[in-house]
Amino acid sequence: MKTHRTNLKTWTSRWALACGLLLSLSLFASANDRVAVRPGAGQPVSRHNFGSTLPLNNHEVLPTTSPVSVPNYNNELFNQSPYQQQVPFNFNQQPVSPAPSHSEPSIDDELSYRYTDPRMLNFLRSTSINQLTSLYMEMSQLIDQRHVNPIAYEQRTERALASLARAIQNPTFLQAVRANGNSAGVQQVQAELSGLASRQPARSAQEALGVMQYAASVLNRSLGVPMEATALEFINGTIDSLDKYSSFVPAATAQAPSAGLEERIVGIGVELKAHDQGMHIVGVIEGGPAEAAKLQRGDIIIAINNQQLAGMSLNQAADMITGPEGTSVNLTVSRNGSTGNVTLPRRSVYVSSVTGVKMLDQTRKVGYVRLKQFSESSTKDLDAALWKLYQDGMQTLVFDLRGNPGGLLTQAISISDKFISNGSIVSTKGRNAEDNTHEVATFDRTWKIPMVVLIDENSASASEIFAAAIQENGRGVIVGRRSYGKGTVQTHFPLRTASGDLKLTTAKFYSPQGREMAGAGVTPDVNVPAATAGLEFAAEQDGDIIAAIRLADDGRPADLANRAGSTPNRQGVKNFSL
């Protein structure tokens, strides 16, 4: 029985759990769970000794393993989770408005991200050319059988060779593989690779494998690049040719960051993004060591164990913070122009995807919940939050999905089912019958609370499934900015030739009314300009929250909630702006 895991999560504000360090990669919207680092921006700092704790202002290597048995890839796709019965769906693919413009990473970006990822580097150090040969053939078979729109081998090979041509002049790649890229040799090899693509167009996996092996020989002979490094990059380049979400995901060891949706992790409990001075803390996990030491959002980690972080990648910093439970790490932290040192223990931290549970307005009885991603524990944690707010007198719910990059499809369906009493939730369509599903609301104890859903340009995938289900079933009002428009489902296929997964785009998903979500996203009912709203604003200054409270006042969410049980499709709600 295979153990596929299906998720819907984009590179936009993607969360890679790195032993307690959540890596927030937020500047490009792209492939889910690909390891990446994005530079940030910051200000110079001056020094001041905070002492052992910082005072508050108010303000994802492969060990050598035996091959596992070949999974049966033709079994039911979603066997991991308790799904409702899935039936085929006839798609009415309506025209969509133009896709939002998203910057895409270049080949050089991809290379730099890959070869600062501890998982990829450790896999490279432990693999062999024979293993990579087997891995390429296994992945090719999976792509041919399950990818939603596989391209020809000739195109895959051209992209793989282009990746290699860039790799041999990419400093990060050359440093990682311990090779020297002298300019004359590089130009000669690049010409050879370019000619190879035209001289030997691959028309099968076996022919493409021959190209990979020949390229590995050329790079090794001419530039000293290990054959394993060439083969691995050829594989990665091949997968990159498919779409921006498919990727090879090496398994993580206890010492390497993993891109997952775990409930409990070992670490210090912070969420980071890259900054020109180091690492910027964008969130502190409740109950973690960082919270106990009074670290807070906005702090900048400028050194780890006295090693400066300026110019370092997010993956490299994560690797430095990662360590066994019970050990400690020393951080130099900047806050408001001053710096200090703090030593934190690495310990088990519960990571809840549900945060910020509070009453926004006691007079109007408006409650607030933010869902940061759709993880294993989201349904359970959301239940607890909703009951707490209900006991506090909540009469309208503001459900914040801003910056939520997605997550598990099962959770998107389960949480949608909590608020929709009947009607369609989402449909998926791929090349195989097991990828075609139609999910409908069945939960008989639905929350009928009036609700406003907040979205932005970084709300993607599972977030868009939920928002579209609420909107097109007439269940609530959507506020904010147009969502990302990911619209595809990725399935994790465990590999038999290596310890890791092939994450492959296997289907597209469609809204309750049959609208294709890829490239379109969800358009809010109430558009709020980005300049006046967002997670960086305090609640009382956040235009999205201000709009949500106004809506609670004028009764629109309540009207929709009252009609939703008997009106499965949206009626009478017009788009408008504040």
Closest by CA position to 317, among listed 116, 121, 173? 116
Q: What is the pLDDT of residue 535?
A: 82
Residue with tokens 């790079």: 219
Confidence of residue 573 (pLDDT cuts 50, 70, 90): very low
In one letter, which amino acid is 563? R
Crossing angle between the packed helical segments 462-472 and 409-419, to the nearest 10 degrees: 20
Half-sphere exposure of 357 (CA within 13 A, CB side): 18
Does the structure show a pLDDT above 70 at 29? no
Q: What is the pLDDT of residue 446?
A: 87
> Any residues with CB less than 8 A from the CB of 201 and at least 6 apart, and which?
154, 157
* pLDDT average, residue stretch 227-252: 94
Q: What is the pLDDT of residue 301?
A: 93
Confidence of residue 565 (pLDDT cuts 50, 70, 90): low
Q: What is the pLDDT of residue 285?
A: 85
**Order of all β-strands in the sheet with 366-371:** 354-361, 366-371, 396-400, 451-455, 477-480, 526-527, 576-577
Which segment of 128-137, 149-158, 311-320, 413-422 scores lowest on mean pLDDT?
311-320
Tell me the C-alpha distance between 267 and 271, whole Å: 11
**Contact of 96 with 515, CB cutoff 8 Å:** yes
Tell me the C-alpha distance between 243 and 240, whole Å: 6
Task: Kindly provide the residue ranges of all beta strands, DSSP E only, lying in 336-378, ordered along the sequence.
Answer: 338-345, 347-350, 354-361, 366-371
Closest by CA position to 262, among listed 325, 350, 345? 350
Q: What is the pLDDT of residue 10?
A: 40
For the chain, percent of residues with pLDDT exceeding 90: 54
* pLDDT average, residue stretch 311-334: 86
Does the structure show a pLDDT above 90 at 545? yes
Closest by CA position to 43, among listed 302, 224, 220? 302
Confidence of residue 363 (pLDDT cuts 50, 70, 90): very high
* pLDDT average, residue stretch 400-404: 95
Q: What is the pLDDT of residue 311?
A: 82
Catalytic sites, residue numbers: 461, 472, 486
C-alpha to C-alpha distances, 378 to 29, 32, 139, 271, 459, nearest whole angstrom: 23, 19, 32, 18, 16
124-164 pLDDT per residue, tens: 999 999 999 999 999 999 999 999 999 999 999 999 999 99
Confidence of residue 478 (pLDDT cuts 50, 70, 90): very high
The dihedral region occupied by 51, where left means phi > 0, alpha psi between -120 and 50, and beta the remainder, is: left
* DSSP label of 115: T
Beta bridge partners of 26: none
Closest by CA position to 36, among listed 16, 20, 18? 16
For the chain, percent of residues with pLDDT exceeding 70: 78
Tell me the C-alpha distance between 233 and 216, whole Å: 10
Query: pLDDT: is 540 or 470 the higher one?
Result: 470
Does the structure show a pLDDT above 50 at 114? yes
Beta bridge partners of 347: 267
44-77 pLDDT per residue, tens: 222 232 333 333 233 222 222 233 222 222 222 2
Q: What is the pLDDT of residue 66?
A: 31
Does the structure show a pLDDT above 90 at 219? yes
* pLDDT average, residue stretch 487-512: 94
Q: What is the pLDDT of residue 424?
A: 93
* pLDDT average, residue stretch 27-34: 32
- Other beta carbons within 10 angstroms of residue 126's beta carbon come to 17
Q: Which structural domains are found in the chain, ordered by start? A: 1-60+258-351 (2.30.42.10), 118-256 (no CATH), 354-486+521-577 (3.90.226.10)
SS3 content of the chain, % helix, strand, coil (to 5): 30, 20, 45
Closest by CA position to 115, among listed 268, 237, 238? 237
Rg (CA), the chain: 24
In one letter, which amino acid is 373? Q
**Contact of 123 with 62, CB cutoff 8 Å:** yes
Query: pLDDT: is 55 or 235 the higher one?
Result: 235
Q: What is the pLDDT of residue 539?
A: 85
Does the structure show a pLDDT above 80 at 282? yes
Confidence of residue 7 (pLDDT cuts 50, 70, 90): low
* DSSP label of 546: H
Confidence of residue 40 (pLDDT cuts 50, 70, 90): very low
* DSSP label of 116: T
Task: Tell me, rounded to whole angstroms, the distance of Cα 419 from its chain centroid.
Answer: 25
Query: pLDDT: is 463 or 179 the higher one?
Result: 463
Tell me the C-alpha distance between 496 and 155, whole Å: 26
* pLDDT average, residue stretch 436-455: 90
Q: Of how many residues is the chain composed? A: 578
Q: What is the pLDDT of residue 319?
A: 80
Q: What is the pLDDT of residue 167?
A: 94
429-439 pLDDT per residue, tens: 999 988 999 99
Half-sphere exposure of 478 (CA within 13 A, CB side): 29
Tell me the C-alpha distance between 403 and 424, whole Å: 25
75-102 pLDDT per residue, tens: 222 222 222 222 222 223 222 233 344 5
Confidence of residue 177 (pLDDT cuts 50, 70, 90): very high
Mapped onto helix, strand or coil, the DSSP state of residue 528 is: coil
**Contact of 235 with 274, CB cutoff 8 Å:** no
547-557 pLDDT per residue, tens: 999 999 999 99
The torsion defined by the Cα of 475, 480, 486 and 491, in degrees rounded to 10, comes to -60
Q: What is the pLDDT of residue 153?
A: 96
Does the structure show a pLDDT above 60 at 262? no
> Any residues with CB less than 8 A from the CB of 92 and at least 6 apart, and which?
513, 514
How big is the CA angle at 326 (ends 325 and 332), to the nearest 5 degrees? Answer: 95
Does the structure show a pLDDT above 70 at 259? no
* pLDDT average, residue stretch 268-279: 87
Q: What is the pLDDT of residue 508?
A: 93
Confidence of residue 413 (pLDDT cuts 50, 70, 90): very high
Which segment of 356-365, 385-394, 533-542 scores lowest on mean pLDDT?
533-542
Does the structure show a pLDDT above 60 at 19? no
